[in-house]
Structure 1
Amino acid sequence: YKSKPSDDYENPKDVEDIREAQENMGCYELKTATNYRVPEHKRMNTEKKMMQLTSLEVLIHKRKVTMNKEIMSLRDLKISIIHEIKCLVQELKSVQVALDLSEHLPLPLIPKLHPDEVPEKKFEYDSDILLKFKEEQEAKAKLQEPLEGLPSSHAFRHGFLRAPSIKEIDHMAQAAGARPMKTAPSVVTEQRKVFEMEKAEPTEMELEMLKREKIKNLYLQETLIKKINALVINFDAELRFLRHKKLKLDVQMKSADLRYITWYEELLILKNLEKHENLLQGRVNTLISEQEAMQKKLNSYLAQMEDRKCEIVKLQECEKALYANFQASLGENNEFAHFLTKVLKKKIKCMGKKEVGTEADEDDENEEENDEESSLGIDEENSGSDDEVVDDSVCPKNCDEALFQNTIQLRQKRLDIEKALTEEKKVAANLRKKYNALAKKAKVVETSLDTTARELETFQWEKQQRLNELYVVVPLKLHQVEYLVNGEMPSDFSQALVFTNQSLEYLQKRIMDLHNEKIMQRDIYKKAQEQHKQLVQDKKEMAIKIQRLEEKCNHLMMKKFGRLVDFEAVQAHSVNIRMEELEVQIMEKEYVHSQELKEWEERILDLQQQLMKVTKENTSKLQQLNQFCREKQQLETKLDSLKNDLGVEFQGPRTTDIKEKARLVSQLKHMAHDAALLREEINLLSRKDGCLREELALLSRKDGRLFLQPLSPQDSDTPTEAFPVLTP
């Protein structure tokens, strides 16, 4: 029964499958439907539409630039092919010179560049073109002079903008190259006549060489013509391929232009609706930010309320422990238990009355507190009425004084705990009020947000309907149209639907998947039915077994107790003996720990007093050292004055001066030695451990004037020494 899931339980795997199906399966709703909702990622605004138009313009420009580059490369290829063909034609003409006229093959035509292929040469000219153009303009001016009377110079000035035609240039080039071609046959006949006159009868070797030369020239003639034709054919193939690409590009450009027009019309519609949409979106964003801020505050209030609840629980536990400590201190069969309980529960006037107004918000906590007090076995009824006066200033006779004082201390702790508990409950009640007020505001904001979101969705649907009114051009081929009426293509396609092949293939594949899933679900359903039947049978068997065990249990209770007993109620109202034993152990440990803390506090006080004594002795020693240093400085000053004094009374024999100087030097050395001893003693006294008896030793001077002697062990704990005395 415990493993049975709740009614609102959702299988995580099913939830994940549903989410994946909603995201990836595809929902093909018609945009013209009344229940259509525009998804968040498909909502269009002015900025997105401008980005679409810009990207379309960039794409069109790239395609056109690419096509222009290909056309220019093909034009350059044509120029190179024309130059190559011209060279081959010249070579072919040189080969045909050595052949008879009957053996000449027709010369291939040389391709020409059309004026449209070289638009950059439109404004190029030379002196010949200008002179010819001038003559033409003058002739035209003479014909039109009676009618218009325009000067030829005016036409000449405007005629500079006309470019020479490529045909004229080619005619001029052919005329220039035709002159030598006309003279070439006469020269050949004259050379042949001279050759025939000189050699009328050629030898066989010469005939063979002429024949070989003739065959070679014929082969070269055919090869050159084939090469020229191959160049022309290859160029035509490249031109045809490029023309095909150009036609496809023209179709794409036309489609792009139509799409650009449609998008621009959509942009105009979006600009008209932009102001209202921004207003609604701004309201939604503001409400969302307010909701998030309120949610953060609510979470903060909840955290603070949890902290207050934990503090209240801790205080209740402290109060419970206090009553348990009191019961443990009373012991069993204490004749003053009733009196001491009244003393413990006595109220003091300084505490005042409890705050009113927190009971409504803290009903659950009061119930928990009442349950805890009832579990301790201390009832308010046993404490007596509030009107009874309890004299707690004097301990009754035959009552333990320590127990009475402990009760007074526990009462003070109880009052402190109750005061803190009241404050915590007051704070918790204020937090609860703030939380409820903020929760109401958050609910109002949530309602406003839902309303605004629905308004925004309705506006998006209306905007989509406005966009659906625009016509969109879709180029289709006849085999792509599958909308037929009576086997014929209708004239009205308003009820037709345009669908991509990829989506159609996906739906067809989905049909097969759903068919397989349907078969699989049938198998699962059959297994579930069998399992359900088995579970129903098991449930009946378990019900019979439970009924038999209940009858047996009731029979045993009637046999043992004489009546039916509710063991659950008994266990709920019984005292947890193990818990009570643990609480007693905790109180005993707390008492032992408090005694140890007292001992350590006393020991710390003793050590602090010893440290104070040692510090005072160290201070006195430093003062003595300072005095000795001043006396040393005075003696050095006096010695220097004696050295520098050159009076008449000291100019006698030098023996007395030498003795006095030696005495003073020895005295100075003794004082320096004494100062070093004092420094060492001060260093010993300034140690933190305070153990001086083991460190000090007897120090004395040889002449017995300065000594340092420790006291005997039977003196006080802090040793005192005899201070050094300066003798003259």
Structure 2
Amino acid sequence: MKDADLRQVTLFEELVLLKEYEIREDILAEKVANKQQEKLDMQTKMLEVQGKIDAKKKDIEKLQEKEKSLMASFTQSLGDNNKFADYLTKVFKKRVKRTKKKMTEEGESDEDSDEDSSDDSDWEESDEESESEVGGYDLDVCPPGCDQKLYDDTCTLREKRLDNEEALAEEKKNQDAQKKELESLQKKAKVIDSQLKTAQNDLEDFQLEKQQKLNELTVVATLKLHQVQHITNGGLHHDLSPTLVFASGGVVRLQHRIKELEHEKLSQKKQMRESRKKHVQLIKDRRIFEAQISDMEETCAQMMLAKFGCMVDLEKIETVTVNRAIEELKEKLRQTEIDCSMELRTYDEEIMRRKERITNLVRDNTQRLTQLAMMLTEQNEYTESLDNRQKRVGADFTGQRKTDVREKQRLIQLVQLQAQEIDALKEEIMLLSRKGGHILPPAQPPLPQSPPNFQPPQGL
């Protein structure tokens, strides 16, 4: 029961402390939430403004394309070699006074009136410029010799251009205003970010402070008598206020750690003794080597005095004297270079011989190709001559064949004529034999002259 009462007291103290800090915590949390919401709203506004800027940019690009198309249409309408090209160009680029829509809204500012007055002055200046004449021609009247339809089309294109320029200026003005609005929103967003970061830091500091206060609360831990052990003299002390509450498992670990430290201490002592022995041995070796070095230096000095009569610096001698190994390598390198140069010269000579041989072969091949071309030309000539001769022989044989056919037809006609005469004579002989008169032989008509190689038919 007492443990429960003490636990309840501790919880009550925590509750009082939490209620004390609850109001501040709610205020800070609400501040952080408000700043986060403001940040989200600002980001939404920035996205909307950025979308409007992108849309305006597309509209401006469309208007610029329209302006280019109007200029192209005007250039195309002028054509080539138009003597009124300069005049029509100035008519097309002329700025004329255009009626503006009057503002019906009330409460116009003085700045608007100043801008209107400046605009009116600009239009008046443009009117003065429009009334000027160019090249002796009035820009408001079609000059003589100029096509009236072309002049009207130019004025129409000018009106479209001015409408497009006004729309383009308005779009650029709106775009600049939206860019300024976006910049102001970005500045506000930076301020909101800094305020949000400050609010979050304040909330974190408050949480740390609250946790620190909670940690400072006194917590009662109930211990039984057998759980309390006093290390000093193995008995329980009458005053337990300076006593440290410690878990029994920790005591066991500390006892094991004491034994481990004793083993480590023994091993370190053993290692230290071995290191000391090694150190003593190294000192003895160093002394021996120093004695040997001193003896060798004395021997070297005596030898120098005996040979040179004075002390000589061996390092300088080594730098001055010739290194035999290096010299041998240099000589070997020189000999290798000579061998390589001789071999290279041999290869160069072989390359020259091969080149000369290739040149001779190419020359011989060229001559043979020339001869082959000449022989092919002669062959073509002979072939053409033979073809022409065969054509002529064929024509001769064809002429003789036609003559034979005509002669044969003539002979056939002659044979048929003679057969008819024979039949007539036979009838006449039969007629005369019936009457009993003397029959005289019929008069023979002259035969046509036959060719020398003519053979009469076998039936005659």
TM-score (norm 1): 0.26
TM-score by length of 2: 0.40
Tell me: higher relative CO, structure 1 or 2? Use CA pairs within 8 A at least 6 residues apart: 2
Between Structure 1 and Structure 2, which shows a larger proportion of helix residues? 2
Q: Which has the larger radius of gyration?
A: 2
